[in-house]
């Protein structure tokens, strides 16, 4: 049996974890974040929400070291729970990763249209009142084809692409934030909260799971570690991804609130870029921001593509979905069939246009939290030392609260009809696949 190529190092796992986590939300939906919570509400929402993920990150570090399996949460839960639980967990985590791919494919069309307004033309149809333009589709489909090809050809090629785009994003981020804040003022911060402080922070925390999903993707590529790799490196990469992710999000929210009167800009397209342009008074800083956004978009698309395809591959290998997705290309040593499935599904989802952006954020948050909860519960059931059982219990509690924040009608910001519809469709597809493959399910 052909095995996956073993070529990844600690730096590759960090750029996979952090790169899968931080995309272009800081440019595309900054107005949504600030309208939810205000500047301080946004900063606290991401800081608290991110810090609550550290216990979960600790659990994942322990699990990946003990079980370096591309199945991730499926493998962890299969040790202590029925296969129905491991299937449901894996199916939700595939959603958490996959759902980001069409998000980014749609976002690149929006960014391209901002740079070249002529691309906002040739309207084909509308979804939920939002236009779908032909040039946007062509650009998004082109990027989807590129990412699919990279992952089909080999993990080393994909990892090199991930490294360059991740560190390039950080470098450009340092440039535009460092220069922009020299022109800002604390007078621009108010209102610090858009609702009461508690509700403001809560509304922002509800989307944190979606925008912080990715650190656990390290486990999905665990089978592709180089022969010299040491297991502790998984733990290091996961915690570094979470900490750098928290710093990135809180800094960029604070910076946008500092450089310009943000409340006046919430109606602007890409208000992050507009805020810095007004502060500096020059277009060059917008070019830097858009370059950073494009690099960030490439890496988060690629990172989530890697995670989704590996998890789909691993579920096929276990007989939880069609076994054909477990095929490994004999030359490239990649899960080529799973890669093609994710690529085609991404391309198809793109045709829904940018009306999917905010609902995807909400559904992705619940899917991620469900996977985190299941992984922590599995670790707790495995009977680790008392201190680690306590950490796992904290992780279970955090995951459960993150789910309840979105599904309980009494909580501000709960699911609307579109989110329930999207989640219901995904669950129905999973139930259908699970029923079809039930006779072939086996444990490894």
Give the pLDDT confidence score for residue 441 in this predicted structure.
47
The tens digit of pLDDT for each residue in 324-351 reads 898 988 888 889 999 999 999 999 988 8
C-alpha dihedral, 48 to 50 to 54 to 56, nearest 10°: 110
N-to-C CA span, the chain: 15
pLDDT for residue 171 is more than 90: yes
Higher per-residue confidence, 58 vs 267: 58
Q: What percent of the chain has pLDDT over 90?
A: 51
Greater pLDDT, 403 or 422:
403
CATH entry, 10-434, from 1.10.3720.10, 1.20.1740.10, 1.10.20.60, 3.20.20.10: 1.20.1740.10
pLDDT surpasses 90 at 373: yes
User: Per residue in 274-300, pLDDT tens?
Assistant: 999 988 888 889 889 999 999 999 999
Query: Which residue would you say has higher pLDDT here, 58 or 364?
Result: 58
Please give the average per-residue pLDDT across 25-42, as a whole number: 91
Q: Are 209 and 369 contacting, i.e. CB atoms less than 8 angstroms apart?
A: yes
Tell me the average pLDDT across 306-311.
Answer: 92
**pLDDT cut 70: percent of the chain above it:** 95
pLDDT mean over 116-127: 88
Six-digit token string for 132: 């779908």
- Helix/strand/coil for 137: helix
| Residue that wins the pLDDT comparison between 166 and 427 | 166
36-47 pLDDT, tens digit per residue, is 999 999 999 999
Q: How many residues in total does the chain contain?
A: 444
- What does residue 352 show for φ and ψ, rounded to 5 degrees? -80, -15
Per-residue pLDDT of 83-114, as tens digits, reads: 889 999 999 999 888 888 888 888 888 888 88
Q: Contact 311/213 with Cβ under 8 angstroms?
A: no
Residue 73's pLDDT band (cuts 50, 70, 90)? very high
Confidence of residue 422 (pLDDT cuts 50, 70, 90): confident
Determine the pLDDT at residue 243.
Answer: 95
- CA nearest neighbour of 220 among 68, 19, 392, 7: 68
Per-residue pLDDT, 142: 94
Domain ranges of the chain: 10-434
Per-residue pLDDT, averaged over 179-201, amounts to 91
Q: What share of the chain is helix, strand, coil (3-state, %, to 5)?
A: 75, 0, 20
pLDDT of 444 strictly over 50? no
Task: Measure the CA dihedral 17/20/24/26, to 10°.
Answer: -40
Give the residue-averaged pLDDT of 127-134: 85
Angle between helices 10-21 and 155-180 (to 10 degrees): 60
For 143, list phi and psi in degrees, rounded to 5.
Answer: -65, -40
User: Taking all residues of the chain, what is their mean pLDDT, rounded to a whole number?
Assistant: 88
pLDDT at 333: 86
DSSP 209-275: HHHHTTGGGGGGGGGGB-TT--THHHHHHHHHHHHHHHHHHHHHHHHHHHHS-GGGGTTSTTHHHHH
Q: What is the pLDDT of residues 346-365, one digit of tens each?
A: 999 888 887 766 666 678 77
Calpha distance 45→317 (Å, rounded): 39
Mean pLDDT calculated for residue range 429-442: 64
Provide the phi-psi class of 133: left if phi over 0, else alpha when psi is between -120 and 50, else beta. Answer: beta
Mean pLDDT of 412-437: 77
Write down the pTM of the prediction: 0.87
């Amino acid at each position: 049996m052909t095995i996956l190529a073993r070529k990844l190092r600690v730096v590759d796992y960090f750029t996979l974890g952090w790169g899968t986590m931080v995309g272009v939300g800081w440019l595309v939906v900054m107005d949504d974040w600030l309208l939810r919570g205000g500047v301080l509400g946004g900063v606290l929402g991401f800081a608290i929400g991110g810090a609550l993920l550290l216990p979960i990150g600790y659990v994942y570090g322990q699990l990946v070291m003990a079980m370096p399996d591309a199945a991730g949460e499926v493998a962890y839960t299969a040790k202590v729970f029925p296969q129905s639980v491991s299937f449901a967990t894996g199916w939700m985590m595939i959603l958490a990763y996959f759902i980001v791919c069409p998000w980014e494919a749609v976002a690149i069309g929006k960014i391209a249209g901002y740079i070249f307004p002529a691309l906002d033309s040739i309207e084909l149809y509308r979804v939920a009142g939002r236009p779908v333009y032909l040039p946007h589709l062509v650009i998004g489909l082109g990027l989807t084809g590129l990412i699919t090809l990279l992952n089909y050809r080999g993990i080393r090629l994909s990892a090199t692409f991930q490294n360059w785009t991740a560190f390039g994003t950080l470098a450009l981020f340092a440039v535009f934030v460092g220069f922009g804040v020299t022109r800002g003022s604390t007078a621009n911060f108010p209102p610090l909260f858009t609702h009461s402080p508690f509700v403001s922070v809560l509304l922002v925390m509800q989307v944190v799971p979606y925008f912080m999903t990715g650190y656990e993707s390290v486990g999905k590529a665990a089978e592709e570690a180089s022969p010299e790799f040491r297991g502790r490196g998984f733990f290091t990469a996961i915690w570094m991804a979470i900490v750098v992710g928290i710093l990135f999000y809180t800094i960029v929210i604070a910076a946008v609130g500092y450089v310009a009167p943000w409340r006046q800009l919430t109606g602007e397209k890409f208000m992050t870029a507009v805020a810095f342009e007004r502060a500096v008074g020059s277009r060059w800083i917008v070019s830097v921001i858009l370059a950073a956004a494009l690099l960030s978009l490439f890496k988060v698309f690629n990172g989530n593509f890697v995670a989704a395809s590996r998890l789909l591959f691993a579920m096929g290998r276990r007989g939880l979905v069609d076994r054909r997705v477990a095929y490994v290309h004999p030359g490239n040593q990649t899960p080529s069939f799973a890669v093609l499935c994710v690529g085609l599904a991404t391309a198809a989802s793109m045709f829904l246009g940018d009306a999917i952006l905010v609902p995807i954020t909400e559904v992705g948050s619940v899917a991620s939290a469900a996977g985190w909860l299941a992984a922590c519960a599995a670790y707790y059931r495995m009977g680790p030392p008392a201190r680690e059982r306590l950490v796992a219990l904290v992780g279970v509690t955090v995951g459960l609260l993150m789910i309840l924040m979105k599904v309980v009608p009494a909580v501000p910001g709960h699911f609307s009809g579109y989110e329930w519809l999207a989640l219901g469709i995904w669950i129905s597809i999973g139930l259908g696949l699970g029923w079809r493959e039930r006779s072939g399910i086996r444990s490894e």
